[in-house]
Amino acid sequence: MIVQTESELRDALDEFARFSQAAPMLAQVSPDVDKPLTALTVGMHGARGVLYYAGADSADGVYSKGDGPEDGQELLYYYMDSDTPFPANSEIPAEAVRTAAQEFMSAGQCPSVVQWQPRPVPTGPDESQWPM
pLDDT of residue 45: 95
The number of angstroms, rounded, from the C-alpha of 130 to the middle of its chain's C-alpha atoms is 28
Please give the Cα distance from 116 to 90 (Å, whole number): 9
Query: Per the domain annotation, does 17 fall within a domain?
Result: yes
Residue 68 lies in a domain: yes
- Contact between 5 and 60 under an 8 Å Cβ cutoff? The reply is no
Residue 38 lies in a domain: yes
> What pairs with residue 52 in β-bridges?
41, 63
- Alpha carbons 86 and 64: distance in angstroms, whole number: 9
**Mean pLDDT estimate for the chain:** 87
Query: Which of the pair, 32 or 50, is modelled with greater confidence?
Result: 50
In a domain, 50, yes or no: yes
User: Is position 19 within any domain?
Assistant: yes
Is residue 44 included in any domain, yes or no? yes
User: Given pLDDT bands bounded at 50, 70 and 90, which one contains residue 88?
Assistant: very high
Which residue range is the domain that position 13 belongs to? Answer: 6-87+98-118
How many domains does one find in the chain?
1
Cα–Cα distance, 132 to 31 (Å, whole number): 40
**Domain contains 69:** yes
